[in-house]
Amino acid sequence: MRLKDKVAVITGAASGIGRETALLFSAEGAKLILADLNEKEGLLVRKEIHEAGGEAEFIRIDVSNAQDCLEMIELAETKFGGLHILFNNAGIMHSCDDNAENTEEAIFDLTLAVNVKGVFFGCKYGIPAIRKSGGGSIINTASFVALLGAATAQIAYTASKGAVLSMTRELAAIHARENIRVNALCPGPLRTELLMKFLDSEEKKQRRLVHIPMGRFGEAAEMAKAALYLASEDASFVTGSSFMVDGGITSAYVTPE
């Protein structure tokens, strides 16, 4: 087992990448703190892990709230005795996020509060716990749009993921000699509820698909496998990276056949 005796915190664990990662990390031996606003779905993930013989606790949190994030980390320490892996995965992509002219200030503020402050608070409280545990891995979910402009306007989301990438690089440089690795997982377009709600027409879906050399949306389970690599000792010399798992979208501009 690649994560035997490790304690991991996963935000956004109730669905999508977070859910798939929780199930995979548990199967690889990790003890889990599952954090999400969606209590109903989060408890179902915990139940699924328990039924498979794993160990997990759920906590309902808002990652944009500092006290909630502190309590999440404290739960890992009190329940499982430490923290080795922090997956700052929770994020939003608001349906009203558009270009700079049309996006309301409230939407911009909300997106950055969840997507950027959520990562900041996770690291603020998680890094001391990881340090006390002897080191470990932090994975921050960014996006391919941190490197490319999105074909469908989403200015707040794109700005937020660029900030996550910048924070990741700085945190990696600061904490590398403490045996704390910090990497950004950068998914391409995925067939998840989050993106499918945003790409709410066939025209919008095709506008994304046409740029992906592999010609399909990625799956949350594929991102979970990438997160497992970054969390494990297989990635022991990997820090500060923008880990692209994007079907080739950042490597080539593809036009319709």
Active site residues: 157
Query: Alpha-carbon distance 146 to 2, whole Å?
Result: 29
Closest CA to 88 of 112, 108, 107, 114: 114
Token pair 């979970």: residue: 224
Residue 70 vs residues 15, 65, 125, 126: alpha-carbon distances, Å: 22, 9, 6, 8
In the structure encoding, which two tokens stand for residue 157, read together?
A: 């989301």
In the structure encoding, which two tokens stand for residue 149, read together?
A: 């402009």
- 3-state helix vs strand vs coil in the chain, percent to 5: 50, 15, 35
